[in-house]
Structure 1
Amino acid sequence: MILQINTNRPQALSGRDVTAILGPTNTGKTHLAIERMVAHHTGVIGLPLRLLAREVYARVAAKVGEANVALITGEEKITPPGARYSVCTVEAMPRETDAAFVAIDEVQLAADLERGHIFTDRILHLRGRQETLLLGAGTMRGILEKLLPGLSVITRPRMSVLTYAGSRKITRLPRRSAIVAFSSDEVYAIGELIRRQRGGVAVVLGALSPRTRNAQVALYQSGDVDYLVATDAIGMGLNLDVDHVAFAQNRKFDGFQYRDLNAAELGQIAGRAGRHLRDGTFGVTGQVDPFPDDLVQRIEAHQFEPAKVLQWRTANFDFASVDALKASLDTPPPVEGLTRALPAADARVLDYLSREDEVLKLAHGRERVALLWDACALPDYRKIAPAQHAELVSAVFSDLARLGHVDEDYMADQVQRASSTEGDIDALSQRIAQIRTWTFVSHRPGWLANPTHWQEKTREIEDSLSDALHERLTKRFVDRRTSVLMKRLRENAMPEAEVSPVGEVLVEGHHVGEMQGFRFTADRSAEGEDARAVKTAAQKALAVEFEARADRFAACANGDLALDSDGFVRWLGQPVATLVAGEEALKPRAVLLADEQLTGASRDKVAARVERFVSFQIESLLKPLIDLRDSESLSGMARGIAFQLAENFGLLNRRNVAEDVRALDQDARAALRRLGVRFGAYHIFVPALIKPAPAGLMTLLWALKNDAKDKPGFGDVVAALSAGRTSIVSEPSFERAFYGLAGYRNLGRRAVRVDILERLADLIRPALAWKPGTGSRPDGGYDGGAFVVTPAMMSILGATADDMEAILKGLGYRGEPKPAEEVAAHLKSLEDAAQTPAAPQAASTEATEVSADAGEAVSEASPEQEAEKPAEAVESAPVSSEAAVVEAPAADTEVASAGEAAPEEEPKPVLLWRQGRFDGPRKRQGQRPTGKGGERHGRPGGGREQRDGGAPHRGKPRVRDGDKHGAKHKGAPQRQREERPVRIDPDSPFAKLAALKEQLKK
């Protein structure tokens, strides 16, 4: 067989008219080959990659016109009629040609274990009629001169200097760097890291389609991104503007095993740094050990171990039978310097199919065996298991053998499966690999009944998949916003900014953050260099926006501003300032929430507008409080009480100022009432300040003054207090004084609104004053000086029976437990007695006296105050004996076991309430007080005293009784106060009531 080769092709091992252009990367070898080819009338050039073939095709077409250039690869054929030049992948180069010029690029791949035998075959056998060029690394000189006697060798030096830069972290690599890794997972991980830190990367993988790789390379070349992450695919002729190459890995899987890259392979990749006359550097990342000094010197000097042998496989196949074909593949090389290649993918598929009976039945005769071998050459783009790929080849061969072409339905089904553009990067990469297989099939001569249709169809699908994959890669690994911003900043150009009505900030059309009032918040997804680019671009672009906003804010109406319960001043919902404590509670300070870019006059405008708004809010909502503080119509004790009310935000416990209240004359009381003050049974307060808005503002001012605003749960408590509820469950962690600011009083576990407590006093007062036989029994009345809790009392407070017990005890009432049966029987007897006729005149007179002396808390409620009573404060209804007894929770009854009666529990006692030692509604005039001045027993109004605004009782002089337990004063005589004239306010409701009584007497 060797003799046959030498006889048929004696020129195969000759180097006559062959020139080898050898040297490292960036020596202009490919450029020289293109110039030499177009200088001839016809020519063929073979390149190692389809991507590089596309690039060279474009360059040649630009020189001689597309009509004169053909592109021939396994998956793509552009063959204009009369084309004089052919640009091919090495695998697609013809075995023989009549072209005047032939060039083979990257001839050092002849030593590659997988593809080397194809390069070797073209090197040894393919020649141009006039000129043949072999382009490659200097390591090929010795072996080429040995195999091709008479070879002419030209070496070319590198046009730029390549130096070692050591180890650097990935995030600290300089701009225009390429990071090299050898697995898709590692490439993706590095891409994610750089995107977060530097804005984005372009990705170049061997598995990408040429269209996708071209798009990614264009992304890098345009400057939209400054980093490239790639496999060793960049080492083969990709012309990139790379200044630095960093190795993130130095091990790869070569198709057979994992191994370290040798020095020549490292040099080939590192040589991508620096283009033309611009120097380049190379190094490693923190994931790889620094290169040894001797390796660095060899790469910098481009001195590598020469290639000793080339991979070889016979080109003379024996198609007599499948076994003969397999035997021919084992033919030893004809000359020294060649080594028999390991079984390639096509040989492995043939070996697998040769064990299939169905295949052997079809593969009979030379033509069928040749057809089988042709089918075995179908590339495994999907990189799947050999058995799976062999099944695909078997299906194709079966159709070719039986039908003469691949079945159209089978082809359509396979193409349709690969057409979807949905999915992630890996899914799209798999579909591109799959469609490349059928693109290859469509270009095989005689394999399809309608090859043109399928060539167009598969090309269309591959292009759409490639575009989708490029979009996914860009979306995942490129932050367009940051890349655009950094590019504009490098150009020192003012970015175009726009602020939407909702505050979204767009720079160059990309979202960079939000403007909230006078603060810019960068997009939270920005990190590292991304965040710095966003902030820098935004600051440059928003310089004018701050001034414009300040002018609009200074001229805005009060309706555009709001003061939150958390102390923030908001402009159209956006915070512009926060309040902090000032020297006085009613004069807090405002701190602007603004970036440093708001300066000078613009900042002063904003600050002044905030101050005016805060002052307006306090002066309008707390006007009654300010009027009390600043009133000039008050004097003496009235002025003192007004001052205390102002200091305590409009609420005083009456028993704490009982003596001062008793010292007020009617004019002073009237003056205080005109200022909105109400004298209640338990409290002296300003009803207007209990409304939600003033109450919320007062709690905020108090919290600012007492550093309580940041306490956990502050906002929830303020919201509950400001909602105007009659009572709420109090928060133990908050100071009790805090609730008083909103007009509430802490009683047990609940805080009750003070005006509701006054309404409770209105219900309790007649019940306490009633005695059997004096008229109809009031709701809750039991006997002289005692009452029971009614549903009406619980309803207005929104409280349970347990809550009522704590509330009444807190108000100073004393609970006396009584058996439920006794209480029920007593109430029943009262009802029965009420059924008998009674003297109507006596009852009427007594009722009149009660209404006259019931207390100022009833008559002092203004119409506006009555309108503000909550819906749940229903009017009290007469309570039956059953209702009164139910005040105590019914005893629980447990279900007895079968056949046993459940034991009866005694009903819980009912509490009978009486006047205690603390607060309570004042009794009718004429009853004895419970303590000296009322102070000892906590009664807010003291002992018997003239009602505010009312006339003396029945014209008798006021008598101040001593202690109820006079014995404790050792029989000291009671002191009687002299009668003094009382000036009655004619506009007082009590004066009108007194006049009505006089008329009734007459």
Structure 2
Amino acid sequence: MRTQGEITAVLGPTNTGKTHLALTRMLGRSSGVMGLPLRLLARELYDRVVKARGPGSAALITGEEKIVPKSARYFLCTVEAMPLDLKPAFLAIDEIQLAADPDRGHVFTDRLLHARGSEETMLLGASTMAPMLSRLVPDAQRVERERFSTLTYSGPKKLGKLPRRSAIVAFSAEDVYAIAELIRRQRGGAAVVMGALSPRTRNAQVELYQSGEVDYLIATDAIGMGLNMDVDHVAFAAFSKFDGHRRRRLRPDEIGQIAGRAGRFRSDGTFGETGDARALDAETIQAVENHEFAPVTKLTWRNGALDFSSLEALRNSLARPSPAKGLERVRGALDEQVLETLSSDGEVRGWTRAQGGLTTLWDVCRIPDFRKTTVDEHARLARQIYAYLMSREGVLPDAWLDGQLARVAGTAGDVAVLSQRLAHVRTWAYAANRPGWTRDPAHWQARTREVEDALSDALHEALMTRFIDRRTSALVRGLREKADLAAGVDHRGEVTVEGHFVGRLKGLRFAADNAGGPLAQRAVTGAALKAVRPEINRRLGALARAEAADLELDSDGYLVWQGERTGKLARSADRLNPDVVLVGGELGAPEAVTRAVQRLQRHVADEAATHLEGLLALKLRTGAACGLDGLARGIGWRLVEAGGAMPRHELAADIAQLSAHERRQLRSAGVRIGEHAVFLPAMLKPRAASLNTLFHAVHSGDADGRFRPAPGRVCVTAPPGRSANEMASAGYLVCGSLAVRIDMLERLADAIREARKAHPRGWFALDDSMMALMGLPASGLEEVVRALGYTRVQKARGEAPDLWAARRKTRRKPAGTTRPAAPADAFSPFARLAELDLSQTAARPRTRSSRKPRRQQAASRAKRAGPS
């Protein structure tokens, strides 16, 4: 293009409106071309022109995409793809400081020196380009623009502490993905923007961020090239990158270019470090804040007037030295490396001698390496394409292209797989957009665009699935922005908030769905407070009004309502009246919780009154002036404390001294003094025994490990470590390795006593009726009988086998006259008796027939009475 019209250099830092100014100026002209550094930015401005002027007026030209309506007047292009044969009224080149880039810089330099609009040319970039523009484009009118907002350094911050609307910058896909994973767990999710993404994927990701669905953006340095987003803070996760040749630290002007994305228009922005990035030095911070950077002193250059007369002439023209000071010839350009590699191939050299062969070879060598492979591998692909183009057909075969696309068209796979497929598709899209490379360019352009769009959508979904917790993001946003959340509980108890499952309500318990990290759990809990609390209060009210038939106290000590455990027994001062605590209900109102607990407490009391009536009545009669006197009252009190049954030997001393009147009192209170146990027969019923042992276990703090025989079992294996009182309260006595139900043991004692009466020496035999009574075989019955104090006698002549006799007992010294010590309880008869001085107390009045000492008289009476 010839130099025509005025040339304006608009220089300044980011957020000065340079690109917006150029777009506005172009739309004010009859035609225009804008060269942009990124395909993504070209697509963004193309969409804006389409919106302003209609699709027929705008054209998009990049290496992989070409949309050129016949009536197009405004061309949005990447700098490499700018159509140089047009003569637009307006022409602009954005980010001209990239002319110093070692790889792409020579293209920007060429456009800077030669591309012009017939009416106006605008060169947009950083102020660091001012000296080079004065030297290379002296007739350019320079305009300096100030930043609209202030950019301030805010220091390092942990990833989990970054403010909302932050962009986190990393310099490799691996780092971007790792940071995005961490942000997902800690903050709900993030959008991902990289230069390698297709415009469709990038736009979808940016929309997630712009819409507020996520508050964090993880990006490469691609965001520094004019991509417009509402970023308040830029956090650098690193300050070094691999630039294609070596790993190096970012220059201050590069840091400023990226950090400048923080703050939009009049909104101020901040920047700082995060992750493992080392803190910036004071000099760099000052340079970034004040936009004062070292001027650009060298631009990358390559000869644009190439000689295609021969292969050697082309190579020599590419190697021509720069014509001016400050222009440094490009080194290590990929297209030149591919050319050198293919030039050593004799067949390729032969093809270059055909008409147009050398031009075609150079076009093939300039295919970008979208796949990021080695030079040799990229050269092999270029040679294959060149071979097809130099064949008799002169185009890429349809079948071959179709096969290449078919291999990468699948949309299944993770982020890495889909990204790699997109890179391959970009290669075939580039080929489809080269003039004369395919038989039907429109078909292949549409086909590659179709595959790219499908992969782009799949990649966007994969990125969202991997890096965004949609539920957490929605809940956090809803809790932050909405006064009322749409919440509900279905018939299965599933709780949803804003359409997202947050947990399950079982009875009064809310089981939150704890998938995700701490943020997800906090969001779910916060949402549940709004969604579940009204339902919890409703259920508490219904529980407080529940009928007795709707409540059940199960064998584990839980109160069940509507099929769910809503309460649990807890230890209280009164063993027969345990407390009740709710299972769940924490989200309910305190007054509703109190009423529900009171209802469950009443139900437990009703259960006790129904099934433990005998034990409660005995407890009542052990009180002052309530029916039991003297030793009867003491025995009754001990029975209540033990749960309604005790082994007889523990009460033997008191029983031996009971008067007939006291025995009648105990009998009227439902107490039976058996041969082996003293017990309340009513407490041996299955429900009463189960409830009694449950209350006993709750009181002792071992509700889960208590002794729980199956209902109806006469004999069970005795559990180790159980006290005799605990077993007796369950209605069982331990006999050897077996625990035998008390009432059946007393029936066995009756049977043995009857059998002994029939034998002159008081012996007896074990018969089938006894085994049936115990439900035991002969060996088991023998163990029980032996535990009861009987021993097998030697067989005598004429005697039946298996005879048993009472084991002889060693005579012991009779017990003293003092009563057994008892706890100092106000209701215990032992407390009253302990206050008496027995040595000075008159003896008990005797009847006419009682002339023996009291101990002998009581023993004789007990012998005559037998078990009661």
Name the TM-score class by shorter chain: 0.7 to 0.9
Deviations 1:830-863 (A, max 9, x none): 8xx99xxxxxxxxxxxxxxxxxxxxxxxxxxxxx
Measured in 1, the distance between the counterparts of 2:327 and 2:21 equals 29
Provide the secondary structure at the position in 2 that maps to 1:178. Answer: strand
| Equivalent position of 2:693 in the other structure | 699
Provide the secondary structure at the position in 1 that maps to 2:155. Answer: strand
1:231 to 220, 225, 230: 220
1:429 equivalent in alignment to 2:419: yes
Deviations 1:190-220 (A, max 9, x none): 2222222222222212222221111111111
Provide the secondary structure at the position in 2 that maps to 1:62. Answer: helix
**Which stretch has the larger CA shift, 216-225 or 332-341?**
332-341
Equivalent residue letter for 2:114: H
1:610 equivalent in alignment to 2:600: yes
1:598 equivalent in alignment to 2:489: no
Superposed counterparts of 1:44-55, under 5 Å: 44-55=33-44
| Equivalent position of 1:740 in the other structure | 728
Measured in 2, the distance between the counterparts of 1:512 and 1:218 equals 26
Provide the secondary structure at the position in 2 that maps to 1:433. Answer: helix
* Contact 1:197–1:528 (8 Å) recurs in 2: yes
Q: CA deviation at 1:382?
A: 1.9
Measured in 2, the distance between the counterparts of 1:661 and 1:974 equals 13
| Equivalent position of 1:477 in the other structure | 467
1:785 equivalent in alignment to 2:775: no
Measured in 2, the distance between the counterparts of 1:699 and 1:516 equals 28
Measured in 1, the distance between the counterparts of 2:457 and 2:93 equals 31
* Contact 1:205–1:230 (8 Å) recurs in 2: yes
| Equivalent position of 1:310 in the other structure | 299
* Contact 2:192–2:217 (8 Å) recurs in 1: yes
Inter-CA distance 420–687: structure 2 relative to 1 (3 Å threshold): farther
| Equivalent position of 1:297 in the other structure | 286
2:271 to 282, 290, 298: 282
Equivalent residue letter for 1:741: S
| Equivalent position of 2:835 in the other structure | none
The answer for unaligned runs of 5 or more in structure 1 is 1-8, 775-782, 835-880, 885-911, 919-929, 937-958, 963-972, 985-989, 991-1002
Inter-CA distance 104–640: structure 2 relative to 1 (3 Å threshold): same
Q: CA deviation at 1:689?
A: 3.5
Measured in 1, the distance between the counterparts of 2:197 and 2:556 equals 56
1:85 to 74, 81, 86: 74
| Equivalent position of 2:429 in the other structure | 439
Q: CA deviation at 1:109?
A: 1.1
* Contact 2:371–2:420 (8 Å) recurs in 1: yes
**TM-score with structure 2 setting the length:** 0.85
**Which stretch has the larger CA shift, 807-816 or 662-671?**
662-671
| Equivalent position of 2:169 in the other structure | 180
Inter-CA distance 723–789: structure 2 relative to 1 (3 Å threshold): closer
Equivalent residue letter for 1:97: L
Deviations 1:125-155 (A, max 9, x none): 2221111111111111111221223222211
Inter-CA distance 297–638: structure 2 relative to 1 (3 Å threshold): closer
Provide the secondary structure at the position in 2 that maps to 1:168. Answer: coil
Task: Tell me the matched-pair count.
Answer: 828
Taking every aligned residue pair, what percent have the same amino acid on both sides?
A: 45
Inter-CA distance 507–915: structure 2 relative to 1 (3 Å threshold): same
Q: CA deviation at 1:257?
A: 0.7
1:507 to 497, 500, 515: 497
* Contact 2:656–2:859 (8 Å) recurs in 1: no
**TM-score with structure 1 setting the length:** 0.75
* Contact 1:634–1:668 (8 Å) recurs in 2: no
Q: CA deviation at 1:762?
A: 7.1
* Contact 1:97–1:127 (8 Å) recurs in 2: no
**Which stretch has the larger CA shift, 99-108 or 525-534?**
525-534
Equivalent residue letter for 2:696: W
* Contact 2:628–2:666 (8 Å) recurs in 1: no
1:140 to 113, 117, 129: 129
Measured in 2, the distance between the counterparts of 1:185 and 1:670 equals 90
Q: CA deviation at 1:40?
A: 1.1
* Contact 1:696–1:718 (8 Å) recurs in 2: no
Q: CA deviation at 1:559?
A: 4.2
* Contact 1:15–1:149 (8 Å) recurs in 2: no
* Structure with the greater alpha carbon radius of gyration: 1
Q: CA deviation at 1:284?
A: 1.2
| Equivalent position of 1:206 in the other structure | 195
Measured in 1, the distance between the counterparts of 2:479 and 2:858 equals 94
Deviations 1:209-247 (A, max 9, x none): 221111111111111222211111111111111111111
1:494 to 479, 484, 489: 484
| Equivalent position of 1:260 in the other structure | 249
2:806 to 905, 909, 915: 915
| Equivalent position of 1:58 in the other structure | 47
1:20 equivalent in alignment to 2:9: yes
* Contact 1:95–1:122 (8 Å) recurs in 2: no
Inter-CA distance 806–188: structure 2 relative to 1 (3 Å threshold): farther
1:126 equivalent in alignment to 2:120: no
1:376 to 365, 373, 378: 365
Provide the secondary structure at the position in 2 that maps to 1:646. Answer: helix
Deviations 1:756-794 (A, max 9, x none): 5456657866776776xx9xxxxxxxx973768999859
1:578 equivalent in alignment to 2:469: no
Q: CA deviation at 1:30?
A: 0.6
| Equivalent position of 1:330 in the other structure | 319
Provide the secondary structure at the position in 1 that maps to 2:646. Answer: strand
Equivalent residue letter for 2:790: Y
1:682 to 665, 676, 685: 676
Provide the secondary structure at the position in 2 that maps to 1:167. Answer: coil
1:420 equivalent in alignment to 2:377: no
Measured in 1, the distance between the counterparts of 2:652 and 2:862 equals 21
Inter-CA distance 42–974: structure 2 relative to 1 (3 Å threshold): closer
Measured in 1, the distance between the counterparts of 2:708 and 2:351 equals 87
Deviations 1:721-747 (A, max 9, x none): 679583135133x54433333223334
Q: CA deviation at 1:425?
A: 1.6
Measured in 1, the distance between the counterparts of 2:453 and 2:754 equals 94
Inter-CA distance 282–765: structure 2 relative to 1 (3 Å threshold): same
Measured in 2, the distance between the counterparts of 1:210 and 1:735 equals 78
Provide the secondary structure at the position in 2 that maps to 1:289. Answer: coil
Provide the secondary structure at the position in 2 that maps to 1:582. Answer: coil
| Equivalent position of 1:994 in the other structure | none
2:30 to 26, 36, 41: 41
Superposed counterparts of 1:344-423, under 5 Å: 344-402=333-391, 403-423=393-413
Inter-CA distance 794–750: structure 2 relative to 1 (3 Å threshold): farther
1:811 equivalent in alignment to 2:805: no
Measured in 1, the distance between the counterparts of 2:108 and 2:216 equals 33
Inter-CA distance 934–652: structure 2 relative to 1 (3 Å threshold): farther
* Contact 1:102–1:128 (8 Å) recurs in 2: yes
Q: CA deviation at 1:268?
A: 0.1
1:652 equivalent in alignment to 2:618: no
1:449 to 439, 442, 448: 439
Provide the secondary structure at the position in 2 that maps to 1:715. Answer: coil
* Contact 1:368–1:401 (8 Å) recurs in 2: yes
Inter-CA distance 684–360: structure 2 relative to 1 (3 Å threshold): farther
* Contact 1:375–1:396 (8 Å) recurs in 2: yes
Measured in 2, the distance between the counterparts of 1:368 and 1:238 equals 39
Deviations 1:166-201 (A, max 9, x none): 122222222211111112222222222222222222
* Root mean square deviation of aligned Cα: 4.0
**Which stretch has the larger CA shift, 322-331 or 582-591?**
322-331
Q: CA deviation at 1:658?
A: 5.2
Q: CA deviation at 1:320?
A: 4.4
| Equivalent position of 1:970 in the other structure | none
Equivalent residue letter for 1:916: R
Q: CA deviation at 1:368?
A: 2.2
Measured in 1, the distance between the counterparts of 2:350 and 2:815 equals 121
Provide the secondary structure at the position in 1 that maps to 2:109. Answer: helix
* Contact 1:695–1:742 (8 Å) recurs in 2: yes
Measured in 1, the distance between the counterparts of 2:858 and 2:570 equals 54
Measured in 2, the distance between the counterparts of 1:325 and 1:800 equals 113
Measured in 2, the distance between the counterparts of 1:61 and 1:975 equals 116
